[in-house]
Structures are given as structure tokens and as C-alpha cells.
């Protein structure tokens, strides 16, 4: 959002103390402070290389034989991430403004910037990035929440994450005040009344539920998309995030560069103080741990796009499928062919009767068919998160 300069008002007597109401602080400090944030940082340039490994399972021992044949039973893979949020901010401070206005000083200026711009921007970016990752993976629910059903839905979300081997005590939950209000009103939540001091203190806070730490986050910092052109504001197509559950170990949030400096008045700055700040950060979801991120959105998520390339198969009944990006852990590609138009796919639809495909798969088709390839979440019954279609290209 563009910033419009306004004249400093010297006529009003300001208090020496800052009067900015309700300053922000970080609601996602547990994310930016996670162990992964220090582990995964660019080695050179903007790229962050996240390596992972898989192994085969164990097998029964043969006590009576040694075959002498040993195989490599592990594979490694690499997820290349690119840092995106390289941000800067600067301001001039005229010595006369500092002299005439008691609150104009570098300490107050930078404090205001950090509390109302920098920190909430980083939190808004974290929320939207995690919502995007959960949407792409299929870890989304849009059931309308009420005081009657919120605990049932909570149990469903938690059961899903635990089923994916996410330790319950590592899960964190961020929710809007409206959602938090529903949780406090839910039947089954215990209230505490302290009467030992003679004053009946009623505590209705829900700071932890089933071992999961809960934190309220303002609604404006829980949107699915933001415009960061200048500062931060919700994008036109943004959806409200009602609840965000995540395992900090499933995420890397490196802050790789952060500096601030100030120059004294010079001829080049026309006698003004110059303050400059730069910070370089990002938030990444790790492909091998995507089940550790779950989001509740106020409205249905949009179906993503699968980019594919089709080429002629070995004969007149086959098409070769290529151009597919690597499928993250817990996901796979499936395909289906249809005469003429593409197969209809909606977000979250369970795709049954489709054929598993990978890059280079030879898929049975006929001339005039349309091939549809979908990316599905195997941990939730092959539910679709993205799809793409193209005309079949059969061989001679």
C-alpha cells in the first residue's frame, strides 16, 4: 500500500512517551526460532538445499546362508529452495524535527517500524506461506465451525496429524479471536474458579488443549495471501485463515541477514540523519514433512495447476507423460483419459479408478482423447489438490 507523507504537526504538544496503541509483537516466534531455521540457510547465493533420505525396511534373518550380495538400501533426495523476502526500509530525520517535536527520534521511529511493520509483516508472510503449503498438499478443511462442533473437528485434525506420525506435543495451533471464542464456548472445556483468596477469579483461557499450545492471532495477520509491494496488506483474493496447526520441525524459517545502520548529517544528506535497515528471510515447508501443516480456511481452496508435457508413445494407443515436478512425500500423480473434453476435477475430490503415473509413463490413450493428470494426497484417500490436461499425442 502506497505511503502518503503528511506534514509533521508542531502545533500540538506531544507527550514524550510514545502513544502508539496496541503495539505488535511476533505471534510466530516459535516458528522463526525453530531448530530448522538455524539449520537450513543458503550456502551460496539464494538457494537453500534441504537433503532428505529414505531407506528400505528390515527383513528376516537367514541363519543358514550368506549370499554375498549386498545392495544400497537407501536413497537421498534434495529440495532446492530459493530465498524470496529481501526487504529494506529507510527514513530521513531532520535535526529541526528532532528538536521541535519531542517524540521524533531514531529510537521511537525504529521502534514504531518494528512493531507495526517489520514484525507483523514477517508473521503475515509466515501464515500465508504455511496456508499455501497446506493447500498444495491437501491439509485443508473448510467445515463451518461452531461452538457445538469445534471440539469434534479439532479431534479430527489432531487424529490426522498424529496418524502421520507428527508428535502431538510438538504441534502448535494459531487461531483467530473468533475461532478462539468458539473454543471457549464449547461444551467440554473446563473452566477454573479460584475462591481461596476470597475473590472469585474465573479463568476461561484455553492456553493448551490436548497437549497442543494455542495462541490467538489477529485476523488481519491470518490471511492466505498478501501484497508485500510496500508494507503488507491482504491480497484481493485472500481467504481468511481460521486456524493454523503446524509442527515447527516441518518448517524452516531462516533469517539470513539482518542489519541496521545510521549516518550522521552530511552535505550529501542535506544535513539530515539517515537511517537504513535491511532484513532477508523466508519461510519454507519441507517436502518430507508436509503432513505437519494443517489449515482451516473460511472458504474452499482453489484447485492448483499441474504442468505436463505429452509426446507420442510407441504406438497408436499410447501417450508419453512428461514435465511433472517431483511429487512431495505423501503425494502422487494419477491420470485418466476421456474422449474429447478433459476429466472434471475439483479440489479435495477423492479420485478413484485413476492410474498412477510418473515422469516418462506410457499411458494408454486413443487419438482424440484428452489426458488429465492430477496431484493427489495419498494420506487423505487420494484427494486432488491440482490438475492439468492436454490433448493425447499417440504414436504411429
The overall average pLDDT reported for the chain is 87
* Pair type for strands 361-364 and 318-322: antiparallel
The interaxial angle of helices 150-163 and 177-185, nearest 10 deg, is 110
Residue 308 CA, distance from chain mean position: 25
Q: Is the pLDDT higher at 69 or at 370?
A: 370
**Pair 214, 180: CB distance under 8 Å:** yes
If you average pLDDT over residues 49-55, what whole number do you get?
81
pLDDT of 23 over the 70 cut: no
Q: What is the pLDDT of residue 271?
A: 92
Closest of 231, 257, 26 to residue 126, by C-alpha: 26
Give the range among 16-20, 31-35, 210-214, 275-279 with minimum mean pLDDT: 16-20
| Rounded distance between C-alpha atoms, residue 396 and residue 393, angstroms | 10
Q: Give all domains of the chain, ordered by start, each with its CATH number.
A: 29-53+74-297 (3.90.1690), 304-391 (2.60.40)
Question: Residue 70 pLDDT more than 50?
Answer: yes
Phi first, then psi: what are they for 339, rounded to 5°? -70, 125
Residue 126: its pLDDT value, please?
97
pLDDT in tens, 145-184: 999 999 999 999 999 999 999 999 999 999 999 999 999 8
Instruction: Determine the average pLDDT of the residues in 286-294.
Output: 93
- Asked whether 123 and 217 are in contact (CB, 8 A), the reply is yes
Q: Which of 391, 373, 363, 360 is nearest to 308 (CA)?
A: 373
Closest CA to 334 of 369, 367, 382: 382
DSSP sequence for 249-298: GGEE--EEEEEEEEE---TTTTT-EEEEEEEEE--EE-GGGGGGEEEEES
Over residues 343-372, the pLDDT tens digits come to 999 999 999 999 999 999 999 999 999 999
Alpha-carbon separation of residue 67 from 59, 100, 177, 185 (angstroms) = 14, 89, 64, 65
Q: Is the pLDDT of residue 245 over 50?
A: yes
pLDDT for position 123: 95
Q: Indicate the Cα dihedral angle 309, 310, 312, 315, nearest 10°.
A: 140
pLDDT per position as a tens digit, 210-224? 889 999 999 999 999
Distance between CA atoms of 165 and 139, rounded to whole angstroms? Answer: 15
Per-residue pLDDT reduced to its tens digit, 173-227: 999 999 999 998 887 766 655 556 556 666 667 778 888 999 999 999 999 999 9
The closest of 381, 377, 363 to 389, measured between CA atoms, is 363
Predicted pLDDT at 16: 41
How long a stretch of residues is the chain?
A: 396
pLDDT at residue 41, rounded to an integer: 78
Mean pLDDT, to the nearest integer, of 318-324? 95
Amino acid at each position: 500500500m502506497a505511503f502518503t507523507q503528511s506534514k509533521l504537526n508542531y502545533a500540538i504538544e506531544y507527550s514524550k512517551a510514545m502513544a502508539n496503541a496496541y503495539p505488535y509483537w511476533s505471534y510466530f516466534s516459535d516458528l522463526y526460532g525453530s531448530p530448522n531455521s538455524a539449520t537450513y540457510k543458503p550456502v551460496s547465493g539464494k538457494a537453500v538445499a534441504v537433503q532428505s533420505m529414505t531407506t528400505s525396511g528390515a527383513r528376516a534373518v537367514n541363519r543358514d546362508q550368506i549370499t554375498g550380495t549386498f545392495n544400497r538400501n537407501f536413497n537421498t533426495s534434495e529440495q532446492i529452495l530459493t530465498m524470496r523476502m529481501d526487504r529494506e526500509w529507510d527514513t530521513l530525520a531532520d535535526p529541526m524535527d528532532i528538536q521541535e517535536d519531542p517524540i521524533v527520534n531514531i529510537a521511537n521511529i525504529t521502534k514504531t517500524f518494528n512493531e507495526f511493520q517489520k514484525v507483523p509483516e514477517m508473521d503475515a508472510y509466515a501464515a500465508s506461506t504455511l496456508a499455501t503449503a497446506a493447500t498444495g498438499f491437501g491439509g485443508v478443511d473448510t467445515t463451518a465451525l461452531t461452538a457445538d462442533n469445534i471440539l469434534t473437528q479439532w479431534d479430527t485434525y489432531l487424529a490426522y496429524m498424529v496418524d502421520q506420525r507428527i508428535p502431538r506435543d510438538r504441534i502448535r495451533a494459531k487461531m483467530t479471536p473468533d475461532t478462539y471464542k468458539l473454543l471457549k464456548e464449547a461444551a467440554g472445556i473446563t473452566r477454573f474458579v479460584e475462591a481461596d483468596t476470597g475473590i472469585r477469579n474465573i479463568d476461561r483461557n484455553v492456553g493448551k488443549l490436548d497437549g497442543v499450545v494455542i495462541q490467538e492471532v489477529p485476523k488481519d495477520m491470518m490471511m492466505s495471501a498478501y501484497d508485500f509491494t510496500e508494507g503488507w496488506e491482504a491480497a484481493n483474493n485472500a481467504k481468511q485463515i481460521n486456524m493454523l496447526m503446524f509442527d515447527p520441525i516441518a518448517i524452516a524459517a531462516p533469517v539470513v541477514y539482518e542489519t541496521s545502520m545510521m549516518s550522521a548529517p552530511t552535505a550529501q544528506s542535506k544535513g539530515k540523519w539517515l537511517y537504513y535497515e535491511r532484513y532477508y528471510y523466508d519461510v519454507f515447508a519441507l517436502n518430507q514433512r508436509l503432513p505437519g501443516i494443517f489449515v482451516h480456511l473460511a472458504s474452499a481452496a482453489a484447485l492448483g495447476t499441474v504442468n505436463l508435457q505429452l509426446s507420442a508413445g510407441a504406438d497408436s494407443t499410447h501417450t508419453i507423460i512428461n514435465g511433472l515436478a517431483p511429487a512431495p512425500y505423501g503425494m502422487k500423480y494419477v491420470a485418466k483419459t476421456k474422449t474429447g473434453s478433459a476429466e472434471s476435477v475439483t479440489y479435495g475430490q477423492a479420485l478413484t479408478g485413476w492410474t498412477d503415473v510418473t515422469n516418462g509413463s506410457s499411458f494408454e490413450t486413443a487419438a482424440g482423447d484428452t489426458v488429465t493428470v492430477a496431484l493427489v494426497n495419498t494420506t487423505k484417500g487420494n484427494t486432488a489438490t491440482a490438475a492439468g490436461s492436454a490433448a493425447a499425442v499417440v504414436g504411429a
